[in-house]
Chain A
């Protein structure tokens, strides 16, 4: 490491200040890339570097911030040209000054990563890797800065670590509420970056030094790593339509001193700062000794890209339902790639009070690795909860940990050598908290002592990989009490001893305790309470089990973990316990569907199944009810939300019948419909609405999602032997994607019918691009599909 960087922690180090805002003052045009000046005005760039070195900066940021392949391509230049040019200018400035270190400066790509955006994670890693390969030979360290998305920061860190051996610094941009623009929290950042093993982390841009003081103090609580701060010269002010920064060098430097005293080890400036700001800061802070203001706590913490969950305080609920074991419906969803069903299980658990979601998609006949990554990505786009990656396949574990947005809980490792050798390197590289099961080469120890020893072996072996106790949670294994009288007692004793003697957090999968017994919830919730009283930190369970959650919420209220009993009151103040839906719904099935009542439809269907066959219920009740609602919609007496509520109520009824038949009920199922939002368009709500309706009219719908290229539509039509294709586009500019798709389908599969819809489409346009049918609203497409099904 460069001798200046070696001083980190022994004396305060100084970064330089702004580049971009100074270039704007020198004539950089709106939208013009500052990095182009490395080639066009090298003397200007070098002079700016020199002025910061003269001001006393130790580390200067090369002018490479936005020189990623995307922006270089837009500007007609190459990363391999512009990055080294910028690096050389910084190097030359350092040589002339006779001192200083150079940071390869890496900013965000400007693109959002999939699945919320369209940039695949590995593409993002490669984009950053290009910059690292081009710049690392000239650099003393890599500064990944102004990141407002933890996921993108993770891609950049992996690229830096995999393509260089340089120290990696990461600073991110928070707003005054301590949130990233993507909604991520300081604690999530600390967990993820520390897990990835960066050299230092901190804050830059967005705010002035004043607003960063509180944030830095909070960050100090979350991490023991060195902290860096590069604030703007105050909050940006909009004046006369332009952005200005008002805090002068004097005031800036005084607050920078506060930041240093609050625990920052390296400080500098971002937008609006000048060599004067840095010079003044150096004068005021150079003599201050770096130090921590508070002792660093070792925290056991996992995170998503948005929020962190800490173990060791309020017991953590890990929802267990995303798991095919013993669930026919879930297995069917996995085989059919029915992602929405799996996501629905996640949301239901989140609503029921889960803090984390376990994800297990292992079935022998599927590609577990691909499906795991897809489910993890999709779940993270709809839920802020951190995930527990649950697989016995190390390859799947590695891939999922890599693309996971955050610091995951890893389920699991055992005390067996092979298991630890496979899992610990992954935790070491990607970061994570790992669940250690007390299983040895000989099996599950029958005694508490055996399980404590197994736990100790796991902890000791992990230490050899640099994995601390704070990143291990021990599960001393719940065994069925029906199979051994002392089974529960052994588990609980092991639990107490592991907490006391080894000082790690603990977790249990609790429901196994009641295996083989009637009314299992009685035993499960009583065991859960006993374990909680013994200090259990986390439990894997079904949060939709009311008995278990009742025990949990009561425990939290009674043990002083629920302030003013607020959580308890919130959960139970609507005192009316949910009446058994089967018992006495006031509505018939037809009424339930017409009114859009899911639970009532579920209950009414169960009652009806005692008298009628599933098919009779579909033909005699569900279809007529849906038809009635459809007619009212067409007469504009019902509106879209009501139509959808009815469809969902019908779906609840279908699900009950499906369950009773053990598969797909027939009906319109003979017609297969492939639907997609066309290439170039990412708006999928219209397509999703049509999908829900079609499914609930009994059609087999293959949903290809959004931004779907013509070739993928063709491939699905051929594979599924579909008779009908539905294409959606929202924007005028993407309707051309629709035309291309239709042309391809006409050429290759002329027999297939094509219907189109979307806000900007008209009958006239639909005719022009050669569609068979234009659906002005969702119901119209259902009617068209029904008419086709009759002819078929």
Chain B
């Protein structure tokens, strides 16, 4: 009797299609990657382990508020495997329960940012095979992302060229906290390759760069990390705009995943104000910074802003654009959003349809 009743709860209330832009499949253990790693790299991992750039090599800078790297407590398989590692449970508890039509897989395991550049390349590539074999082949609704070793540019580009011909892959996947600001030219070959295949760049918050989440040093609490993703991503997006990334790649689409979006309008206002005074410093920008922001930056809903006055949420999206906001659940993490509650049901069907599916259909390569 202690089971969640299986029912397409979402579909019962709505005929809208549902695309979830943030699902986290998880390794049962690192042994899941062994078939895709050479003996050389498997031995290296066993003997030397990983080399994250931050100081907490065996965990996160901020312990999560729920065990299992911040897992929903009801998402642990009965056999004791980690939360998020069981496809049958994910199907029962999430894909079938809500009637998810397409789910974007965003693997968060730290290998892609490892400081051993060649190991990170091997791990990123292994993750891509793992997504195909253990998830997508068994559940075609789950679409893989091209995980790239983003600090190893050459290998990242090679990985995009290797994977992109397979139309199952729907985006190139980065984390937000990189060694340098993501707009810097060092990273441009990654964007160039993505644009070549018309793949969006999905940037999920977190990362292993060793850079504080806050621009004012290391804060004390996890709750600060949760709130500072917005400011960290604000700096990231600013770097992309100011470096001229969107002038160079006018078709590039950036999806900010789990970053919130309340910060976006104020960033646009501030950048435009300063740009009027200092456009000579960045003469490669042909338009006001807010225009790049509005044209190139897509956001996902979870964890959605909850202003005291619900109309403020509408004002926010009016500024960002109703074609730029896409539903995400963050399954199986503790701060998961339920599709029924996170997108207000009193919004017009047209708006909800855009957020639940239409925008994602036009952004990702499905």
Query: Is B truly associated with A?
Result: no
Instruction: Give A contacts to B, CB under 8 Å.
Output: none
Instruction: Give B contacts to A, CB under 8 Å.
Output: none
